[in-house]
Chains A and B, each alone.
Chain A
Amino acid sequence: MYDVVVIGAGVTGSAVARELSAYQLKTLVLEREEDVCCGTSKANSAIVHAGFDAEPGSWKARMNVEGNLRIRQLSEKLDFPYKQNGSLVLCFEEEGIGKLEELKERGEKNGVEGLEIITGERIWEMEPNLSRQVKAMLYAPTGGIVCPFKMTIALAENANVNGVEFVFDTCVENIEKTAEGYRIETEKGSYETHCVVNAAGVYADVFNNMVSKRKLSITPRKGEYCLMDKKAGTFVSHTVFQLPTAMGKGVLITPTVHGNLLAGPTAEDMEDREGVQTTASGIAKLSQQAKKSAENVPLSMVITSFAGLRATEKGGDFVLGEPEDAKGFYNAAGIESPGLSSAPAIGVYLAKQISEQLGAEKKTDFVSTRKDIPCVSEASPEEIRRLIEEDPAYGNVICRCETVTEGEIVNAIRRPLGARSLDGVKRRTRAGMGRCQSGFCAPRTMEILARELKKSPLELTKTGGKSRLLTEV
């Protein structure tokens, strides 16, 4: 019997699990994929929103502004890459300046600090590559960028170190109320629990609707992105949004925390909850819209494109907490943008409610910090020397584009909730995330994975399930 079962090991589920792990609770995370961070959390804008966008008083506004602060603190405690680079909202028409003012007021109501409207030459002093069509822009100095993989992995890993169990490759099929709480049925057996946290992304409505008459309805909204080479990483230094117009919400251009340049997302409502394919029309649309912000956006330097699905709930806001008719069933549903920014706040909010309901005490031995895998490409010469002295594998470069060593890959596999697939290694170390997109390192990473996991290379996958990399001769 568990105290809490969390469904979904994305950034929200992992954040809730991490906060729950501070309490004396028996907690389990169920994930249908082979790793954490495999759904919406892995394919998004990687932005920490300042929080001016959401309606004052909404869950989105509250959680975003609080989450923004928490991510800054957490990035130090849990050692994941975060940078406060500031964000800009561009306005291309004189008439739009009023809307920028509204946005600024809304932000101030939400508690966002330092908002400022910028006009004239200061626009191009701040961002020389922006279009000359920009009339004004809203500057939010608290906007930031984060590595969504490393953030999710750090939260999950820290939860695991503090006693939270994770079960992967397990799809929840049904949830039933019981006398003491809930029975969660999966393809691999059932789990009894007092409480449930529904952090199931685009499937969160399905699980809510199994236990509550307050029906939710989630439409997956696809966003396509283009990621550009690090050579293009300084094209803009802030995250550049566009003021939504009648023509649509526009796309953003942003540096990533690792130094690439990212453009996207498009917005297309989907029926298929697994429909993460990119399309020629989507990429064309995003390139056209990105050029509106900056004509010379270097899309010829794209190294990969991808698509993610936002879990858009019909009510338009996050759905947090217990439905009236399902005590002990805690929703974290409809977590679309600004979900990544809000996750740490959602974690704290739900963990507090759950611990109060169950009367759980805080642990005295909670480990609140964690160190990430050493990063040779960012280490000083002294650190590199020390690392290689301790373990020569840190001198053996496997991924040449991102300078990722064997030591880092082995570390990624051996640590708690370690990598078990090529993408698992990629998300933890960046091996294969560079300009050759794993052309050179894939065979060598596979060799290390096979050796460390004591598997035949034939069993290795790109990202779990049936995504086998090789076939029988």
Chain B
Amino acid sequence: MDRYDLIIIGGGPAGLAAAISAKEQGVTNLLILERDQELGGILNQCIHNGFGLHTFKEELTGPEYAQRFIDRAAELEVPYKLQTMVLDISEDGGEKTVTAMNRKDGLLVLKTKAVILAMGCRERPRGALNIPGYRPAGIYTAGTAQRLVNMEGYMPGREVVILGSGDIGLIMARRMTLEGAKVKVVAELMPYSGGLQRNIVQCLEDFHIPLKLSHTVVDIQGKERVTGVTLAEVDENRKPIPGTEEFYSCDTLLLSCGLIPENELSAKMGIKLSRVTSGAVVNESLETSVEGVFACGNVLHVHDLVDYVSEEAKRAGSHAAEYIHNWKEEAIKETWELEVEPQNGIRYTVPQTIRPEHMEEKLTLRFRVGAVYKDRYISVYCGSKRIFHKKKKKMAPGEMEQVTLQKSDLTAAPGLDKIIMKLEEA
């Protein structure tokens, strides 16, 4: 049986950055398991530019961004297996067993000290949205359509309606238009878009594609292939308002209605998941509730910028390295751990818990807000003491925010069981 120090599940942007970081920290016996035919993950189908502004201070396409990491991993001789599907992860006495499968090796049962979860996320399908109507051909999630157009070279349709204004939906509105399709409208259930502002401008406004906020699809027509969809306006409870129905003839409906971290393996392993993020609950070291299992990237929480994924994954890699270097040296000891409690407009934070003694001098907490807010302060309280206070002109659910905490602020309040993070009126 093969033994490893670290197995990274997923060779997309998170898995690559985590592996590189761990290798740079001296973990040599490691392995990336990737289910697709090449490294790079979903970036391979994101052929638009705009990646890497934070990481490389330049605008790259998705494949270019991925290639930088693939090249670095090759330089470091990070081993990987492609077209390899992980079927199970389990843990026994600290050691983890990863069961995987591929054409060449058959069934693999691998032992490892640490695991980094970097499986990414999936799109919410039509069925989960309960959109009424027929079930014809021509209904795709935006990401599936992106793969068909950008990687396989096929057009899923000619006349398109898009439901949901997540980033992939916005990007695909532009992409389908550039490929000669007519994108008639983008409908969004919420009164605000779930995508980045820059994508609304560059992908819709620049192409005169209307965005209908507070609208949803109430019927899908067409028994064999989509022939049209009916949109309706929704009220404040997101219920369609009778009389507002409007029919759009089209042959394609693309869905961009949310991404869900793919944590089936994590759940099966008994890792504690957050009901808000659908990702693992992690501490300051990005370690899950199972010791030695770390998580990063979209499997942890859905990011809007890959730069943040890379940064987070780098931290996961170095914490995993630290764990491996200290393997079995010290028994699990009771450590002071505090919870970060999101309140008043803040939906969640990652990490959700902090062990002040383990944290570095500074720690970045990422979070999302639950609605659109203007001129609010982001505040963090350590007991009655405010340790962070910063004004933001605008915050929206589609844009991930961050705060940086100082270790000294937390260690100054020993024994505290939680810190509170909230939005406050200006």
Contacts and interface: CB of A to CB of B under 8 A. Distances in A.
Contact of B83 (A274, A279, A396): A396
Interface string B140-157: 110110011001101111
A326 interface: no
Secondary structure of the A side of the interface?
mixed
Contact of A277 (B35, B132, B179, B240): B132
B89 to A, nearest CB: 14
Contacts of A283: 130, 132
Nearest to A466: B224
A129 interface: no
A389 interface: yes
A247 interface: no
B104 A395 contact: yes
The residue in B35, B122, B127, B134 that gathers the most chain A C-beta atoms within 10 A of its C-beta is B127
B218 interface: yes
Interface residues of A, number: 53
Contacts of A439: 122-123, 125, 140-141, 143-144
Interface in A376-400: 376, 381, 384-385, 388-389, 392-393, 395-397, 400
A392 B103 contact: yes
Interface in B114-130: 122-123, 125-128, 130
A389 B101 CA distance: 12
The residue in B35, B85, B101, B138 that gathers the most chain A C-beta atoms within 10 A of its C-beta is B101
B36 to A, nearest CB: 9
B144 A442 contact: yes
The residue in B123, B137, B144, B240 that gathers the most chain A C-beta atoms within 10 A of its C-beta is B137
Give the bracket for the number of chain B residues in contact with chain A.
35 or more
Nearest to B101: A395
Contacts of A279: 132
Interface stretch (A16-24, A134-142, A457-465): A457-465
Contact of B137 (A302, A389, A393, A462): A462
A397 B35 contact: yes
Contact of B87 (A403, A443, A465): A403
28 contacts: A277-B132, A280-B218, A280-B240, A283-B130, A385-B107, A388-B107, A389-B106, A395-B104, A395-B106, A396-B102, A397-B85, A400-B85, A435-B122, A439-B141, A439-B144, A440-B144, A443-B147, A443-B152, A447-B152, A465-B224, A466-B225, A467-B137, A467-B225, A468-B137, A469-B138, A470-B155, A471-B156, A473-B179
Interface of B: 35, 83, 85, 87, 101-107, 109, 122-123, 125-128, 130, 132-138, 140-141, 143-144, 147-148, 151-152, 154-158, 179-180, 218-220, 223-225, 240, 251, 264, 267
Given A305-B132, A381-B109, A467-B136, 20 more contacts: A276-B134, A276-B135, A276-B223, A277-B132, A277-B133, A280-B240, A302-B128, A385-B107, A395-B102, A435-B125, A437-B125, A438-B144, A439-B140, A439-B143, A440-B144, A443-B147, A466-B225, A468-B225, A470-B154, A471-B157
Interface of A: 226-227, 231, 274, 276-280, 282-283, 302-306, 376, 381, 384-385, 388-389, 392-393, 395-397, 400-401, 403, 435-440, 442-443, 447, 457-458, 461-463, 465-473
